[in-house]
Amino acid sequence: MTIGDSRAFLLELFRSAVAAADPARCLPPHLPPAPRGRTVVVGGGKAAAAMARAVEDHWDGPLSGLVVTRYGHGLACRRIEVIEAAHPVPDSAGQAAAARMLELVHGLNPDDLVLALVSGGGSALLSAPAAGVSLADKQQVTRALLRSGAGIHEINCVRSHLSAIKGGRLGAAAAPARLVSLILSDVPGDDPAVVASGPTLPDPRTRAEARAVLERHRIEAPPAVLAWLNDPRSETPKPGDPAFAGAGATIVASARVSLDVAASSARERGIAALVLGDRIEGEAREVALVLAAIARSCAADGIPLAPPCVILSGGETTVTVRGKGRGGRNAEFLLAAALALDATPGIHAIACDTDGIDGSEENAGALIAPDTLARARCAGLDAAARLADNDAYGFFAELGDLVVTGPTRTNVNDFRAILVEARRP
């Protein structure tokens, strides 16, 4: 393959992974039967608007409700209201939407159905601060956690215990109505109680664990946050709570399915594919060292796969921000990988977030090739210095190697593919 062919191939794999998680494709088969009473739709996340439209397109009976999604990720729906709010740091629009959802599910009866559409990003978008905690308090803690290198399970544990809607509280409020949650998972392991901090499911994590996360990452939380986490009322509803009797939850799309679809697409092109898994976590630059070593082993020794081959992985890496640059975790992964590969011939890679947004930037991710570092030097870019400053976005923007898709209105988290070409004579 030429460099252009390799880039096109990797972009094709990414598009196939995103398409596999399109709510219009994956959600309708899981819709429940219509109830005798009302159907109320609620939910939040980057895929919420697309999920709401998929429900409307395949639902014959009466329908009403409200979902919240990130700014720019909305879609017009006929019967379900779509509100846009901020992500990853919550704002007042998300707070107002969450309050209205709690009102919508209040006072329903056993003949009614609450259909919850939950996807990644819902933790920030469903922002209803707990008693005594202000929106500003939550914003401060969220910013600190995002910069600390904390994993998504840790962050969502804190979020759940600072919320009046997450950690199962929306689900408890919906009782005694029948509750069905359709979940598009963006978390490693696909635990439905972790996606969007589990607004409709009982929460096995405790307030003590939330306090431990803040201590472990040396987060200086506002006094109101610490006071609330020391209050027994901050404990979330737990498994076995009768409010969730008969509640159902289904994962309708996940990173594993998207990775398998991408692997099949590669094999159809005659390229061997290895899926390392969808649970890869850790510092982006450290994960890059491991995956780069695997790619170099394939290139040099044919282990664990002989080239041509592609190494696929998903999950959610983290970035501990120490510099002043711009860049999401996928761009940081790629910049570290480029340095580790050190222009090894025949190795190309892509890393993108399937929601089309790498962290808080407008790109989905980026691409690297064997000539990335050489082109950077010609452009006067110091790759190692940019990595130290957490400025992977700026690095790839100047090279023209960003991948920009716009909002995909789905979210099964990170997609990484490393292509190892066959040796040339």
User: Looking at residue 425, what is its pLDDT?
Assistant: 57
For the chain, give the mean pLDDT. 95
Average pLDDT over residues 319-336: 93
3-class secondary structure, 52: helix
Q: Which residues lie below 8 Å from residue 18, measured CB to CB, with a gap of 6+?
A: 258, 354, 405, 408, 410, 415
Convert the pLDDT of each residue in 257-310 to its tens digit.
999 999 999 999 999 999 999 999 999 999 999 999 999 999 999 999 999 999
Closest CA to 65 of 25, 116, 22: 116
Q: Give the tens place of pLDDT for each residue, 164-175.
A: 999 999 999 999
pLDDT of residue 149: 85
Over the stretch 385-418, which tens digit does the pLDDT of each residue have?
999 999 999 999 999 999 999 999 999 999 999 9
The pLDDT score that the predictor gives to residue 21 is 98
The arithmetic mean of pLDDT across residues 335-356, rounded, is: 97
Per-residue confidence (pLDDT) for residue 1, from 0 to 100: 62
**Mean pLDDT, range 167-191, rounded to an integer:** 95
The pLDDT assigned to 190 comes to 92
Q: Average pLDDT in the 111-128 region?
A: 96
Percent of the chain with pLDDT strictly greater than 90 = 93
- Confidence tier at 189 by pLDDT (50, 70, 90): confident
Domains of the chain with CATH codes = 3-18+256-420 (3.40.1480.10), 23-253 (3.40.50.10180)
Q: Residues 36-64: what's their mean pLDDT?
A: 97
Residues 6+ apart with CB under 8 A from 80: 41, 52, 55, 56, 63, 64, 65, 66, 67
- Total count of residues recorded for the chain: 425
pLDDT for the residue 360: 78
- pLDDT of 231 reads 96
List pLDDT tens digits, range 202-212: 999 999 999 99
Q: How confident is the model at residue 147 (pLDDT cuts 50, 70, 90)?
A: confident
Residue 346: pLDDT above 90? yes
Closest to 423 in 3D by CA, of 12, 1, 132: 1
Using the 8-state DSSP alphabet, how is residue 243 labeled?
G
